[in-house]
Structures are given as C-alpha cells and as structure tokens.
Homo-oligomer: A and B are copies of this chain.
Amino acid sequence: MEPARGRLKAKEARATVPLDGPKATEIMSIAHGFFSPLAGFMGSGDVDSVCKDMRLRSGYIWSIPIVFDISEEEIRTRNVKAGDSVLLTYQGQPFAVLELDEIFSYDKAFMAEKVYGTSDTKHPGVKRTLGYKDKFLGGNITLVNPPRINPPFDRYWIPPKVMRQNIAEQGWKRVVAHQTRNVPHTGHEWLMKGAWFASNADAILVSCVVGEKRPGDYIDESIVLTHEALMKAGYFKEGTHLTSILLWDMRYAGPREAVFHAIVRKNLGCTHHMFGRDHAGVGTYYSPYAAHEIFEQIPDLGIGSVLTLEWWYCPVCGEVTYSGLCGHEKQQQAFSGTLIRSIIQDGVKPPRLIFRPEVFDLVMETGEKYGFGSPFVTDNYLAGRNPVITVPPMEV
C-alpha cells in the first residue's frame, strides 16, 4: 500500500477541492493501509451498512464511517461531478486524487445515533457528525504527493507494511497494542505489562493517537516521546516495546471506537489489543466495560482482546498493583489524571513509583520545546504548533 509519488497531469483531475487537516490525515491513513480494506472514502452503501450493521457491505467488520463531507455550494462552484477524478489539495499543494464514484446525502442524526448510541449534542462525536456538511463524496483515493512527517513524529510514523516487516524481523509472534493519548504514569506502565502477560505477547506496540486536540490534553509531542522514554530508560526491556503513531481524530465512540482501534492495530500486525475501563469513551455515555462486551459479539474480528481492569497504587502493598488481585480496596490510591496533572503543573517531581523521573523530565522538556511552555494543550499550541505533516511543493 506504499503510495506511488507521481507527476500529476492536469487533465487527469477536472475539479479541485482543498482539504482540511482531518481529511488530509485520513487520506494518509487510507493510502498507507491503516484503514485497510478501505481504499477511499465510503459510498452511501457502506455508510449505511456500517451505521446499521457495523459492517461494510462486503461483510467486513467496520464500525465508524469514514466520510468526505462537502457543501452543496462547493460541489456547484468547484464543478464536482460523479465519475470524475477530483484533485484534493492540502496546504496549497496537490495532495491526492479522489476517483469520485458517488455524491450522496445521508441522515446525519441517524448516523450519529447509530455510531455513538446517543443523540446528545454535548457528545463530541455527535457534535462532529452533526457538523458535517450536507453532502458526501464517495470513492477511492490515491496519494499523489506524499507529505513529509515532521519531527519529532517522523521516527514514529511506521505504516502497516513497514510495521509488519519490523515485527517479522524482530521475530515477534504476538504483539499487543496499547492505544494512548496520555503521557504514561506507572498505572499505564503496568496496564501494558499486565496485558503483555495476559496475551503472552513478545512485545507491546504503543500506538499514540495523534490528531485533534482539546485544551488540557497532553500535547502529542510529549505523549510520543515519553512513551519511547519508558523503554529507553529500561522500564521496558529493549525488544519488548515499540512506540508509533496513528493519525486519527478521536471520536470518543466508546465500543464502536474500540472496534475501530482493533481493526487498525490488526492492520499494523498486532495480534492483541488492550481495552481498559471506559476505552475511548467520554462522559458517562458508555458503561465502563462496553468495549469488552462488544468484543464478545464479534468473534470474527481477527484480533484478540485483552480486557484489563485498573492498576492502582496501594500503600499497603507499597507498589502499583492490579485491582483484580489486590485486596486493599479501601486503601488503594487510584491514579487520578487530575492529581498527576496538578503535580506536573506545579513542577514537583512525583515519586518514582507514581511517575518515572525520566518521563517527568521529558514532559517538562517537551512542554518547553513544543508546547509553548506547557505539556498541556493551550490556545497558543493549537494556533502555533508545528504541523505533523507538510506537503512539499508540486507542479501540476
């Protein structure tokens, strides 16, 4: 699925449509095989089948519509027609070509309700879906001008084909995926270690979701670099742990998003996927183990799931222990993201059993270097961060 870089001939594409960032990164994921078997944006048949049955028309499990929304006005003014090739531009440069099969409408409220299980507009996924423009373009895409992945992300951009080669070369038979949008504390570290045991894995693939951020999130640079630092500092042995990125805007679709994560990590060569409490959820829309429950309904997914409860710091045990085994429920100290965040904001190094000093130092360093002085997303970061991808100039 390595995209071919080719000279684009003007006559090939009749209409030109500029992309926003989310669509550009979805095209990257499609073109590089992260979203296999998808080869483009979904047509109405697949969208409908995914919404209603959580499968593509082919029967392949797929949980989240991958759609290209566009306004009727843009279709008209840009002369977009089914059957044509459409040139998609990004950052003012030619980027990809869409072989446009179909221009269609779909009931966005119905889509939101099916995918998210709620029509509450406070749900960020529902809000995103309802915010789609009125029409959708369906068709296969070809990346014609592959962008540069900018540092520090370039080293972690390992598309499925390359990842599967890496896995084979390392001799890994079983790899368990850890989905993350967090800088790791020791609770996360032990979630990964526990899942490694439970899946009898050779290695853990940390797959950091890099995409749309909200103020208060950790910045992507801190997340990616600190996960690798855990291994570099020996908390994971070399050869048992690899950090990579996935370009994706979280939808917070709970169980449906869990299924999506599993499909993408299967494409990356993982044999197992970890799911913790409230995986990919938000608010109280999903039951804490909804991701676990949905997996039991789809045994043909082709990737094992590792269901993990919580790890907490137990002062009686004197260490991080598993909620499924530790009997000191009353004494346990759950890892509070809020607490750890406040510790980091105060700049006070937490105990090594809660937060690794190497991770702490790197959080501070990356906050300075990439985050305008903070490892947490701010308006400054959102406005001024270095883009993850840069499309090189290309003559048409």
Contact = CB atoms under 8 A, between A and B. Distances in A.
A197 interface: yes
A324 interface: yes
A325 B240 contact: yes
A219 interface: no
Contacts of A148: none
Given A353-B318, A353-B319, A325 B231 contact: no
A155 to B, nearest CB: 19
Interface residues of A, number: 28
A328 B197 contact: no
Contacts of A326: 234-235, 237
B327 A234 contact: yes
Contacts of A238: 327
Contacts of A234: 316, 326-328
- The dominant DSSP class at the A interface is loop
Report the copy number of this chain in the oligomer: 2
Contact of A325 (B193, B322, B352): B193
Interface string A295-337: 0000000000000000000001111101011111000000000
Interface in A337-367: 351-353
A253 to B, nearest CB: 27
Interface in A215-269: 231, 233-238, 240
| Max chain B C-beta neighbours (<10 A), residue from A196, A197, A200, A318 | A197
15 contacts: A193-B322, A193-B325, A197-B197, A198-B198, A231-B327, A234-B326, A234-B327, A234-B328, A236-B325, A237-B326, A240-B324, A318-B319, A318-B353, A319-B319, A319-B353
Interface of A: 193-194, 196-198, 200, 231, 233-238, 240, 316-320, 322, 324-328, 351-353
Given A196-B325, A237-B326, 5 more contacts: A197-B197, A197-B198, A235-B317, A237-B327, A319-B319
